[in-house]
Amino acid sequence: MGSWFSVLPSLLIAVVILIVPGLVVIAAGWGLRTPTRWLLAPAVSVTIAAGAATVAPLVGLPWGVWPMLVMTVVITGIAVLLRRLAGPDPLTAPRRADVTALLSLAFAAVVNTVLFARAFGAPANIAQRFDNIVHLNAIGLATQVGDASPFQIGATSDISAYPNGWHAFTALVVELTGSSVPVGVNVANLAIVAILWPASAMALSAALFRQRRLVFIASAALSTGFGAFPALFFNWGVLYPNLMGYAMVPAGLAAVVLSMEERRGGLVRALLLAALIGGGVFLGHPNAFLALLAFATVFVVSSLTARAVSNPTRVDWVLLASVTAGLALVSVAVWTVFRTSPEHSWWSPWQDPAQAFGQGLLVAPRGFTPTVTIAVLLIAAAVAVARRPRLLPSVLPFAVAVLLFVVASGLRIDHPVREILTNPWYNDSNRLAALIPLAAVPAATLGAVVIVDASRRLAARLGLPRWSRQLAGAVALALLATVALGPNARIALAEVREAYAYTEEAPILTEEEQALLERLDETTPPDALIIGSPRTGASLALAFAEREVTERHVFGSPSEDLLFLNRHLRDIDEDPQVCSVVDRLGIDYVLDFGRHDVMDQSLAPAYDGVQDLDPGEHLVLVDSEGTDARLFRIEGC
């Protein structure tokens, strides 16, 4: 299904889309002197893409490079104005920090690209998970109609709106590269794990720990070492929109951290940047925004508390009280608005709280084996916080992430605390497990800083020669660089490989079925309407060939006519009513991929009318591949 080298130009285009628009905005508003600022650029780019895709249909523009360009110019203009009002960026970085940050990001990008490309298998492979049907078709429809707004993306799922951050970015990649939808999806996802995620994680760690060169190195390496994120979302769901939103959460929190250090003149500019990225996180997925709100709340409140206690003034206490009250009200409102219904939040706990707590602390949910290096760094961070409580705000987001995971996976299904705290995540422990690495990267980075600083003090006390200290530093860096090879990430990536594998029992598509879909451009006219079971992958004719299908996703609401055909189309030669309904709906072709169901084989009989068909007077076999992939043309109706 193609070589990864053949899609390198497409990957480079995706990387450019992720970097350039945001970098222009950051340069205009703050300059590029400090790495922490320009590491926020990918998150800003995603926000621009999601916002532009939302506005484009309202002003009559098809989604593509022009709306992206216009939105970039508008936000850049605002950034220039804010810079003139606020003055130069007060943030400074150590010498050569920019080079260190760039090389560290490049290292993480290469490692994650190689790891995930190997896990995906081939550029045109798809994740064999049922949520992928709607995501692939949403991209296919968005590129077909030139609309990647939340309303259009929602229409693919028969709902009013759906967060569009991932879909807007991916649809733009597909359009600008000319790649197929499966290839475009894989290229876009590689760009997210290679650039957006590590840059976001590095930005947060640098904002917390003063942009030390070691911080950039450690956080970049650590971004490659966790199984719960980003790998889990390529196997569970798949949850591509959550992938995008979660990858931006550290960048959003970094913007909040930086705003806490701003002078009065630059505070408005800093808060607007945090709001901009926060909006992008929301358009990535509301779940991600809730996580950002929770992390930001504990960081801001604990930081203001520490400030008020250490240097008590009336202003500090009033500020603490007002901000705490405001964040509490916002949190209650947001948690209330984004509660999910019982039919969507039925995910059950599967372990006791003590076991969940241990898995969370070691960032080893779902039974992933802990990576020793990461565990040591987290222990070092805990010791440092115990000795220096002023460091507490930097690790509180990690504590919140662990708490949410423990509640979802360890408390009984009817526990009121569980229903209050984790319902907006559908009480799904997998979605909450993926939050832990977002906050674990800065916590483990703190551990690396503590260990290195202690080692330097010990070496100086012992009078060790310079070369021995340099050798020890090189060994430490090598250990950090190998976390990507640790069991935590390795187990999760093996599960991703399984999710993207093509076998005879593949949940969505076999290689034969995909080959048949890829020939629809040759075997069907562009205006063809195709019926088939979405539960067998037949509805992916929309994503693979821009052919309209009767059902775009698994959880649809078919009309009475369509329900009738799903059960009785096979009787077309005996029952005249079948032809009448076919004519009424305008159906031209049938895709028959057998009876293998993507989720639950007991649900396959609902589509017996379009499965395991035989050619006949009205069903003419047009194309086939293997024994179970067949395309029929309906004639004589």
pLDDT of 261 reads 85
pLDDT of 206 reads 96
Backbone angles phi, psi at 588, to 5 degrees: -110, -35
Domain boundaries, the chain: 4-498, 511-634
Per DSSP, the residues of 220-267 read HHHTTS-TTTTGGGGTSTT-HHHHHHHHHHHHHHHHHHHHTT--HHHH
Q: Which position has the token pair 């096979």?
A: 570
Backbone angles phi, psi at 263, to 5 degrees: -70, 170
Strand 619-625 and strand 589-592: pairing? unpaired
Helices (H) and strands (E) in the chain, counts: 28, 5
Which two structure tokens, joined as six digits, stand for 135? 């995501």
pLDDT of 67 reads 98
**CA distances (Å), origin 116, targets 112, 120, 128, 189, 562:** 6, 6, 16, 9, 39
Compute the distance between CA of residue 119 and CA of residue 122 in angstroms, rounded to an integer: 9
Residues of the chain with pLDDT below 50 are none
**CA distances (Å), origin 189, targets 50, 128, 156, 393, 594:** 16, 15, 20, 32, 30
Which two structure tokens, joined as six digits, stand for 204? 């947060």
pLDDT of 7 reads 95
pLDDT of 91 reads 79
Q: In what order do the strands lie in the sheet with 589-592?
A: 548-549, 529-531, 589-592, 629-634, 619-625
Fill in the amino acid letter for 477. L
pLDDT of 2 reads 64
